Structure 1
Amino acid sequence: MLLTRLELSRPPTDWCAALPVVRHLESQGLTFTERVTFLVGENGSGKSTLVEAIADACDINSEGGKAGTKYASTGMPSPLGEALDVELTTTGLRLLRGPRRGRRGFFFRAETLFTLGQHVSGMKGFWEDDLTEQSHGEGFFTVLDRMVSGPGLYLLDEPEAALSFRSCLRLLALMHQVAGEGGQIICATHSPILAGLPGAQIVELGDHGVQRTEWESLQLVDDWRRFLTKPDLYLRYVLEED
């Protein structure tokens, strides 16, 4: 393990202070117990906000990018990132706070990935391929294959956004491999496929704050199961005319 616990040293100063997940961090903190952790929950529950704050607190570019390059464009951390305290193991300190050339961390942020690619594709330490010459999903995997490998902290924000069913399975296999190589992954996702990785820690965010749960108990798993079994039960409500 590299990162074992999150706590808040003080309340953040912006809108996210009202999020249940932030209030939970302030009162109870969050402990990571497995090499792979999935953050799941509805839109607006704070998954991406939390992953971005972890990137800030671990000196990883919170806009998406490598360890040691944080605030590359904005020059400013997020208020939650400034307030977040991270508990790192000895290995975590070496890989995230040691000499810059030896740092191993990457934030895969789906919404900014191709903007990042315009600036770093072909540069030493990144990937050789031009993402603009690949499909959306192929570009995602070009980056994942190159940047998520071996010991290091890897933060993923909805990496399934451009991936097919089979590609999600491929990513699940990559996560399993990286965990076996000594890496740690924290992934915000809506994918029941990714969250099904055996042995992963699943943390559900919602109005209740934060709770650890099992795959079978996830609302998103139940919703997908019901929809695939009988889609008309859902569609008749969303497609009906006023």
Structure 2
Amino acid sequence: MVRRVKPYLLHASFKPDVEFDFDTYPFSVPAVRELENIKFHPNVTFFVGENGSGKSTVMEALAVALGFGPEGGTKNVQFSTVDSVSPLHDALRIAKGVPQPKDGYFLRAESFFNVASYMDSTGYVQGYGGSLHERSHGEAFMAVLVHKLRGNGIYLLDEPESALSPNRQLAALRAIHQLVEDQSQFIIATHSPILLSYPHAKIIQFDSSGLSEVAYEDTEHYAITQDFLNNYPRRLQQLLADEDDA
């Protein structure tokens, strides 16, 4: 596996001259308060955690601080259908490596439809291999990974597995690896145990206590999936039993 001496993104910290209140959102989120503890892996860094733990909030802030639009796309795609961007990005200082990326993309699952519509309206769809709306949701996601991302880039993916079947998640894993070998760096927020299996990646757990680095086999995603698949008849019986019978 190729490792760069210096990645494009090293770490993020709070600007010393910016005042904010740790009792107000998003600074009240435990993971946000510990944001300075994240050191990004030169290849792949994963954010994992329950819904509401702050993964997407941090991902959005990193993306906007790096110059991407809040709804996703390349840095040339700057629009917002809803003014809901948190102020976190204004408080961040991004430490970058010496090499400058030649490519970049922010894929945000929840607003990807809006990006696809924007690209159709501008006519700039050639880089995706054609209109994204003329594909299924999963095919459109794969079009980004396979056609749009060119390598030598910094790529932020927020729950890319949301539109992908297990088989397509395996294909996405291979596409990510090929881009890593082509001098790319990824930051990925995911619930997918398939994507999380990427070798040598750094996995950052977001929870009520803040941030911590965990091994793949120690993630809830791995443990719960493995337990359910190995014991699914009993687990289904437990989950679907009437409360009086439990």
Q: TM-score range by the shorter chain?
A: 0.7 to 0.9
Name the counterpart of 1:172. Answer: 173
Q: Which runs of 5+ in 2 are unaligned?
A: 1-6
* Distance change >3 Å, CA 154–CA 109, structure 1 → 2: same
Alignment of 1:190-205 (within 5 A): 190-205=191-206
Partner-residue secondary structure (3-state), 1:52: helix
Cα displacement (A) at 1:79: 0.4
Partner-residue secondary structure (3-state), 2:50: coil
In the alignment, the residues of structure 2 paired with residue 136 and residue 166 of structure 1 have an alpha-carbon distance, to the nearest angstrom, of: 14
Cα displacement (A) at 1:148: 2.3
1:29 aligns with 2:37: yes
Q: Is the 8 A contact 1:104 1:153 kept in 2?
A: yes
Task: State the Cα deviation string for residues 89-147 of structure 1 (Å, max 9, x = none).
Answer: 1223xx3xxxxxxx621101111112211121441674242222222211111122122
Cα displacement (A) at 1:152: 1.1
* Distance change >3 Å, CA 89–CA 73, structure 1 → 2: farther
Q: Is the 8 A contact 1:65 1:108 kept in 2?
A: yes
1:18 aligns with 2:24: no
* Distance change >3 Å, CA 154–CA 74, structure 1 → 2: same
In the alignment, the residues of structure 2 paired with residue 187 and residue 11 of structure 1 have an alpha-carbon distance, to the nearest angstrom, of: 28
Task: State the Cα deviation string for residues 26-82 of structure 1 (Å, max 9, x = none).
Answer: xx4311133111111111111111110000110011211112444555688530111
**How many residue pairs end up in the alignment?**
231
Partner-residue secondary structure (3-state), 2:68: coil
* Distance change >3 Å, CA 115–CA 69, structure 1 → 2: closer
In the alignment, the residues of structure 1 paired with residue 186 and residue 167 of structure 2 have an alpha-carbon distance, to the nearest angstrom, of: 20
In the alignment, the residues of structure 2 paired with residue 215 and residue 159 of structure 1 have an alpha-carbon distance, to the nearest angstrom, of: 18
Cα displacement (A) at 1:8: 1.5
Partner-residue secondary structure (3-state), 1:86: strand
Cα displacement (A) at 1:236: 3.5
Q: Is the 8 A contact 1:108 1:155 kept in 2?
A: yes
Partner-residue secondary structure (3-state), 1:66: coil
1:107 aligns with 2:89: no
Task: State the Cα deviation string for residues 153-185 of structure 1 (Å, max 9, x = none).
Answer: 100011001111111111111111111111111
Cα displacement (A) at 1:233: 3.9
Name the counterpart of 1:3. Answer: 9
Identical positions, percent: 35
In the alignment, the residues of structure 2 paired with residue 219 and residue 76 of structure 1 have an alpha-carbon distance, to the nearest angstrom, of: 30
Name the counterpart of 1:230. Answer: 231
Q: Is the 8 A contact 2:125 2:131 kept in 1?
A: no
User: What TM-score, normalized by structure 2, do the two folds share?
Assistant: 0.85
Name the counterpart of 1:41. Answer: 49
* Distance change >3 Å, CA 125–CA 203, structure 1 → 2: farther
Partner-residue secondary structure (3-state), 2:142: helix
Q: Which runs of 5+ in 1 are unaligned?
A: 96-102
